[in-house]
Amino acid sequence: MPRGGPTASCLDRFLETDRLEYLDRDSDDPGVDSRKRSVIRALELIGDWFGNHEKFAHMVLDEVAEVPDPRILELGSGHGGLSAKVLEMHPTAHVTVTDVEPDSIAAIAAGPLDADDRATVRAMDATAIDAADGAFDLAVFALSFHHLPPSLASRAIAEGTRVARCLLLIDLPRPPAPLHLLRVATMAPFAPFVPFVHDGVISSLRAYSPSALRALAAHADPAIELKLRGGLVSAQVAVASRS
């Protein structure tokens, strides 16, 4: 399925790629490893500068506002900034912080999150979650969902709604094709020289449209209900739950 959805235009279908970001690459090449670390540092700084961690933490806590001691699973957590902010903002929340990348888990485990009694740090694949049905009140997948190809993205929705009451997806918006082309054209000249821009261009081309998210949820299970909000200039937000 195209990233723009089942009825994507020819231009929209052109604006996608299977090329890997530096964040997706496993390599012994010191150059690739250096660029990967550069992207991670840039993401951490941008998350702090623009208050993304706090904004996303508010979204998470809004979904569990009626739960006294919420159990929250973060998928694809990267550096764990979102989970840390959730714990800071909610005195009785418990978070399970996960990522499929061993290096990310090792970095989180070496930081303050692993020392917090309310946090559990685990290596975990979002498409095959090692947890019982209904083990969590909420699963959240922030700014990493676009890394998954459609077949795995659908499985992640199925798994997230299996282990949690609902799954909160926060990801990059996919603008209408003409605006998307303009955005990519503006960024592309800098991509060979700036690792963060390189990954930003690829992320933009791999982002899912609202119609694609609906199709992925329906493929995962027709019983899954998907509510969408945001997008275009703000983060695209989807809340998936089983009826």
Sequence-distant (6+) residues with CB within 8 A of 239 are 63, 166, 167, 168, 169, 226, 227
pLDDT value for 44: 82
Query: What range does the domain containing 201 cover?
Result: 10-242
| Whole-prediction pTM | 0.94
What pLDDT tens digit does each residue of the chain (243 aa) get? 999 999 999 999 999 999 999 988 876 777 888 998 899 888 888 888 888 999 999 999 999 999 999 999 999 998 898 999 999 999 999 999 999 988 889 989 888 898 899 999 999 999 999 999 999 999 999 999 999 999 999 999 999 999 999 999 999 999 999 999 999 999 999 999 999 999 999 999 999 999 999 999 999 999 999 999 987 778 999 999 998
| DSSP helix/strand/coil, 240 | strand
Residue 131 lies in a domain: yes
User: Tell me, what CATH number does 79's domain have?
Assistant: 3.40.50.150
Residue 166 lies in a domain: yes
What distance in Å separates the CA atoms of residue 158 and residue 169, rounded to the nearest whole number? 13
Residue 2 belongs to some domain of the structure: no
Domain contains 63: yes
- Burial group, residue 128, by CB count within 10 angstroms (0-12, 13-18, 19+): exposed
Instruction: With respect to residue 4, please indicate whether it lies within any of the assigned structural domains.
Output: no
What is the spatial distance between Cα 8 and Cα 175, in angstroms, rounded to a whole number? 12
Tell me, yes or no, whether 53 lies in a domain.
yes
The rounded distance, in Å, linking the Cα atoms of 181 and 122 is: 38
pLDDT, residue 16, reads: 96
Residue 49 has a pLDDT of: 85
**Domain total of the chain:** 1
In a domain, residue 5? The reply is: no
- 85 part of a folded domain: yes
pLDDT tens string 115-137: 899 999 999 999 999 999 999 99
Burial classification of residue 87, based on how many CB atoms lie within 10 Å of its CB (0-12 exposed, 13-18 middle, 19 or more buried):
buried
Residues contacting 218, CB < 8 A, separation 6+: 224
Structure confidence at residue 201 (pLDDT): 97
What is the pLDDT at residue 24? 87
Under 8 Å between Cβ of 215 and 233:
no
